[in-house]
Amino acid sequence: MDKALINELKSFLVERYVDNMSTKDLVSYVTDDLDRYYEKMSDAEFIDEAQNYWEDHFGEVVDEIQDYIKCDFKKDRRFDSERDLD
């Protein structure tokens, strides 16, 4: 096979693979992928990314996270998001 055919075959496989995933599987995959993506960033790059995402609400989000860290009862964010899809 030549490179063009292999590239098209890869694209077709990805398309089919995603088409056949459940919403729950897609959420799990994207969550894992984003976790790995952010883990590879420097702290400065991550803060910049987070500030760009939340824009004017960044300070409020940081305050919420600080409150969450102090909380005795913590939820597993993955479990809750996956359960919501059932």
Residue owning tokens 């500030």: 51
Q: What is the dihedral of CA 10, 26, 79, 70, to 10 degrees?
A: 80
What is the residue extent of each domain of the chain?
23-84
Residues 6+ apart with CB under 8 A from 41: 49
| Exposed/middle/buried for residue 53 (C-beta within 10 Å: 0-12, 13-18, 19+) | exposed
The predicted pLDDT at position 59 comes to 97
Asked if pLDDT for residue 13 goes beyond 80, the answer is yes
**Single pTM value for the model:** 0.68
Mean pLDDT of all residues in 15-36? 95
pLDDT tens digits, 26-83: 999 999 999 999 999 999 999 999 999 999 999 999 999 999 888 887 667 666 655 6
Tokens 């992928």 identify what position? 33
Q: CA-CA distance, 51 to 63, in Å (whole number)?
A: 13
